Amino acid sequence: MSLQSEFAEIAATDGRAALVTVIAGESLGAKLLVRADGSADGGLGAPELDQLGVEAAEELLWAERSETREAGDTKLFVDVVAPAPRLVVFGAVDYAASLCRLAKAAGWRPFVCDPRSQFATRARFPDAEEVIAAWPADAFARLGGIDRATYVAVLTHDPKLDDAALSIALRSEAPYVGAMGSRRAQAQRRERLLAAGLDDELIDRIAAPIGLDLGAVSPEETALSIMSEVVAVRNGRDGGRLSQAAGRIHEVGA
């Protein structure tokens, strides 16, 4: 199978990979395929170009965008395909239903996890990709683990579930781990997590209270607040008002 064919097959099966192609320079048309697991095939005509291609691919694979890169007189195009990012929601609560609806509308893949099978049902969460009635360790295992495109929102107020989910998510590559609760609840959670062996640096990764300051009241508004923060984190933004922002407003992909 050619590199182009394998890349097309990965794209067709909703996988993740980058195809790096020389679009200007001596090795015009040379290709390098870089997969999500870090393996690569092909070549760009020189070891230093291969190294540049791999580094660019590994960066853009998880930024989920395609770009051109230059090295002297050589120009590379890094073409990235990736599945939609995942939002894993712990807690089969009303907020979770609203969050799934909004995440799906935004092109994300939402999942709901809760060990309470009477609440974690498909009927209550029709917009979720999957509803998993399991404790966090088993739920994450069923999801194939946590990668750099998995965002985690903990919406329960049950310390047993909250702490179990956070203990796993905070030690993972998840770029975002948010948790619902008042500032007092967050302080109590911190004490529990410290007692469970997590250090301050890991605990400081929690976005808590979860969401942006929108003055949200209803489940739908709260979902908007959470999803806004998640999207801002994914795009490396602070989530402030555009009227007060400097620089480019909307990034345009290659």
Give the per-residue pLDDT at 157: 82
pLDDT in tens, 97-132: 999 999 999 999 999 999 999 999 999 999 999 999
Distance between CA atoms of residues 68 and 205, nearest Å: 32
Residue 249 has what pLDDT?
56
Percent of the chain with pLDDT over 90: 82
- State the pairing for strand pair 150-154/176-179: parallel
* Side-chain half-sphere CA neighbours of 64 within 13 A: 17
For residue 186, give the nearest of 174, 198, 203 by alpha carbon. Answer: 203
Per-residue confidence (pLDDT) for residue 1, from 0 to 100 = 74
**At residue 244, does pLDDT exceed 80?**
no
Of the CA atoms within 13 Å of residue 20, those in its CB half-sphere come to 30
| 253 band by pLDDT with thresholds 50, 70 and 90 | very low
**Length, in residues, of the chain:** 254
Q: What pLDDT score does 143 carry? A: 95
Is the peptide bond between 209 and the residue preceding it cis, with omega within 30 degrees of 0? yes
136 pLDDT above the threshold of 60: yes
Q: What is the DSSP string of 101-158?
A: HHHHHTT-EEEEE-S-TTTS-TTT-TTSSEEE-S-HHHHHHHTT---TTEEEEE----
* 148-198 pLDDT, tens digit each: 999 999 998 889 999 999 999 999 999 999 999 888 999 999 999 999 999
pLDDT at 11 over 60: yes
Q: What is the mean pLDDT of residues 84-109?
A: 96
Averaged pLDDT for residues 33-43: 94
- Write the CA distances from 69 to 4, 46, 76, 185, 208, integer angstroms: 19, 15, 5, 47, 37
* β-bridge mates for residue 81, sequence order: 17
User: Where residue 254 falls among pLDDT bands split at 50, 70, 90?
Assistant: very low
102's CB contacts (< 8 A; 6+ apart) are 220, 223, 224, 227
Computed over its alpha carbons, how large is the radius of gyration of the chain? Answer: 21
CA 222 from chain centre, in angstroms, equals 20
| Contact of 88 with 113, CB cutoff 8 Å | yes
According to DSSP, the β-strands at 109-113 and 67-71 are: unpaired
- What's the Cα-to-Cα distance from 208 to each of 154, 181, 200, rounded to whole Å? 10, 7, 14
Indicate the average pLDDT of the chain.
92
Question: Which residue type, as a one-letter code, is found at position 231?
Answer: V
pLDDT of residue 252: 45
Confidence of residue 240 (pLDDT cuts 50, 70, 90): confident
Is residue 39 scored above 60 in pLDDT? Answer: yes
Q: What is the pLDDT of residue 251?
A: 54
**What's the confidence (pLDDT) of residue 192?**
95
Round to whole Å and give the CA distance between 233 and 82. 18
List, by residue range, all CATH 3.40.50.720 domains of the chain: 86-234
Which pLDDT belongs to residue 6? 96
Residue with tokens 């007189």: 73
Query: Domain 86-234 adopts which CATH fold?
Result: Rossmann fold (3.40.50)
